Structure 1
Amino acid sequence: MKKIVILGCENSHANAFLKHMKTRPELAHIQCIGVYSDDVAAAQKLHDEFDVPVMASFDEAVGKVDGIVITARHGDHHYQYAKPYMDSGVPMFIDKPITCTEADAVEFLSQLKAKGIKVTGGSSLRHAFEIVQLKQACAAQVGGATVGGIVRAPLNMDNPYGGFYFYSQHLVEMVLEAFGRYPDAVQVTAAKDAYTVLFHYGDFTVSSLYTVGSGEYYAARFAKNGTQGGYVANQGNEWYYAEFKAFADLMEGAEPDLSYEELFSPVFVLNAIDRAITSGQRELICYPEV
């Protein structure tokens, strides 16, 4: 039996993960021995539904678990919650945004890498079937070289969970997973309830649209002689399963599907977008050397 805790359980991921552990035979060997949230009501709700213990502090399970799941809504809590468990070297799942600040990202990445901790996470949208297909089309150069693309995803700016950073990684993760983890620069144009973001790669540019108050997802790739993609069907339950299964596999000895740098790259892209919203200028993306 593999024992885990869920730290920051106020979003839909915690509920979905617990349901999958309860209903999927291949996850039946995983036991959640505690949940923690600074929103006490959220933790209590999971206790009432799944009979999981509520932890008094996020660090009380150190030395007692085989892995940790961090799904706090505010990205500023993620590194904080992970720190006490890092010396034990247990695998980790970190929800989006991995962190809000670049400083936290650099320190977090450095510690994970130095200790050899296996980690997965980010936005569940990278597991969407349509995004996986686009990634494969880009890699195989279906229809020829990529000449551009377009991606759409929701945005929530008015929230107590980091504002722009709370929901914005979904779009960024879709772009990076399909077209490449390291765009060079971004530009932003703001309109009413929408932000157009250009992701500049070496040989092409991907146009994207954040829409406030909408739940639509879309992703397409333009090749020299063809187009792939379209609407991305909201299959949240399946996305949650895919990302939790990836974490479960780490506890069984599997290797992460992304490098540390690839997993953390959205943080630096998001910060560049945030700067571009303010400056109105093209902003270079500053990836660290760790």
Structure 2
Amino acid sequence: MTPPIDRREFIGKAMLAGAGLSLTQSLEAFSSTPSTQNQKRVGIIGLDTSHSIAFTKAFNAKDAAADLGGYRVVAAYPHGSRDIKSSVERIPGYIKEITELGVEVVDSIKTLLDRVDYVLLETNDGRLHLEQSLEVFRAGKPLFIDKPIAASLADTIAIFKASEKYRIPTFSSSSLRYMENLMAVNKGKIGKVLGADAYSPATLEPTHPDLFWYGIHGVETLYAVMGKGCKTVQRTFHPDSEVVVGTWDDGRIGTFRGLRAGKTGYGGIAFGTEGIQGLGPYGGYRPLLVEIATFFNTGKPPIDPEETIELFAFMEAASESSRKKGQVVSISSVMASAQKAANKISI
């Protein structure tokens, strides 16, 4: 076993490895540094989502599986959404639940960061994620950010820029990315993916762009099998549903269908050179938690940051297409606007 490295040594190596490197290269430099074996304390920011309780129960279970890495949630900062009623109203109940699980509830993110080595950013409100993630990066703690990584494409770009600046790895994902049948497609079950259709609920929240709030689950499903490379997006909007069609640079077509009423479920279908495969059913959080534990162990994000940025550009382009009454919108055009806005954000 490689001996643990202390934080001063890590910072020195990270600064040398990161100088002048790209985001991906910098994060690879981080992952090449041996992880500290005896630091397993996890903190949660945001007790306004059921994820905080579910994740804590999994990590802190007496019979937690070995692939969850021995990590334990020891502290939580509850806030959390400020003005999204459905989220704010959950906080008192979740404070009670997480306290009963043996987790200390603290009064600030700073206090939390003094008590933990790794962080799960669970705040339901994506508008707060940039502000809260910056505190974590500056404290030098590896960070998982629950969906949505942000409530704007510009903030998404800024978060990854900050990750690069502070040499602290991060990733964000919906648990839908790790559905069993979807993973089988990624392992080559149907050969090369020629196209895919994905669906999920797409309920709306006025504080977030249309798909950023909940449609992201289906968009992440789509990107998980299609990969990055989408060039144009066109959206057809209906009060109860919508269809977003993306055209990839190699001519492949990927679609997302978002539904707002009834028991819509999650899933999709992928078309490959060697067959067709349904992408559902959804199997729960556990596969994502295993990925998070592996990420904490290695310091290496399991998802290319550029892919996460592009899937948010896909959703932003869908919003722009809606504003333009269904016109085709290029990913490059929304990326250019968001890059300008991100450059003005202080990190």
TM-score category, normalised to shorter length: 0.7 to 0.9
Mapped contact 1:148–1:205 kept (Cα < 8 A) = yes
CA displacement, residues 151-180 of structure 1 (integer Å, 9 cap, x when unaligned): 1111111x3652622112111111111011
User: Matched residue of 2:115: which SS?
Assistant: coil
- Equivalent in the alignment of 1:248: 293
- Equivalent in the alignment of 2:229: 182
Instruction: Flag the 1:83–1:174 CA change in 2: closer, same or farther, 3 A.
Output: same
TM-score (structure 2 length as normaliser) = 0.74
Q: Distance in 2 between matches of 1:66 and 1:245?
A: 17
- Equivalent in the alignment of 1:82: 133
Shift of 1:95: 0.8
Would you say how many aligned residue pairs link Structure 1 and Structure 2?
281
**In the alignment, structure 1 residue 31 sits paired with structure 2 residue 76:** no
- Equivalent in the alignment of 1:20: 58
Mapped contact 2:200–2:264 kept (Cα < 8 A) = yes
Q: Which runs of 5 or more residues in structure 1 are unaligned? A: none
- Equivalent in the alignment of 1:66: 117
Shift of 1:232: 0.8
Q: Which runs of 5 or more residues in structure 2 are unaligned? A: 1-38, 81-87
**In the alignment, structure 1 residue 108 sits paired with structure 2 residue 159:** yes
TM-score (structure 1 length as normaliser) = 0.87
Q: Distance in 2 between matches of 1:116 and 1:263?
A: 18
Instruction: Flag the 1:204–1:31 CA change in 2: closer, same or farther, 3 A.
Output: closer
Deviates more, 1:162-171 or 1:47-56: 47-56
Q: Pick from 296, 314, 318: which aligns with 1:269?
A: 314
Q: Distance in 2 between matches of 1:85 and 1:21?
A: 20
User: Matched residue of 1:100: which SS?
Assistant: coil
Shift of 1:70: 0.7
- Equivalent in the alignment of 2:17: none
Q: Distance in 2 between matches of 1:174 and 1:110?
A: 25
User: Matched residue of 1:232: which SS?
Assistant: coil
Q: Distance in 2 between matches of 1:277 and 1:34?
A: 39
Q: Distance in 2 between matches of 1:155 and 1:36?
A: 26
CA displacement, residues 48-104 of structure 1 (integer Å, 9 cap, x when unaligned): 441322222233223432111011111111111111121232111101111111221
- Equivalent in the alignment of 2:257: 209
- Equivalent in the alignment of 1:260: 305
Q: Report % sequence identity.
A: 21
Q: Distance in 2 between matches of 1:204 and 1:52?
A: 47
RMSD over aligned Cα, in angstroms?
A: 2.3
Question: Aligned letter for 1:242?
Answer: P
Instruction: Flag the 1:167–1:136 CA change in 2: closer, same or farther, 3 A.
Output: same
Deviates more, 1:39-48 or 1:120-129: 39-48
Deviates more, 1:62-71 or 1:39-48: 39-48
Mapped contact 2:120–2:145 kept (Cα < 8 A) = yes
Q: Distance in 2 between matches of 1:32 and 1:182?
A: 40
User: Matched residue of 1:62: which SS?
Assistant: helix
**In the alignment, structure 1 residue 172 sits paired with structure 2 residue 219:** yes
**In the alignment, structure 1 residue 162 sits paired with structure 2 residue 213:** no
CA displacement, residues 224-277 of structure 1 (integer Å, 9 cap, x when unaligned): 5x53222511212xxx22222222223323422122222333222211111112
Structure (1 or 2) with the greater strand fraction = 1
**In the alignment, structure 1 residue 120 sits paired with structure 2 residue 120:** no
Mapped contact 1:176–1:182 kept (Cα < 8 A) = no
Question: Aligned letter for 1:272?
Answer: A
Q: Pick from 92, 99, 113: which aligns with 1:41?
A: 92
Shift of 1:31: 3.5
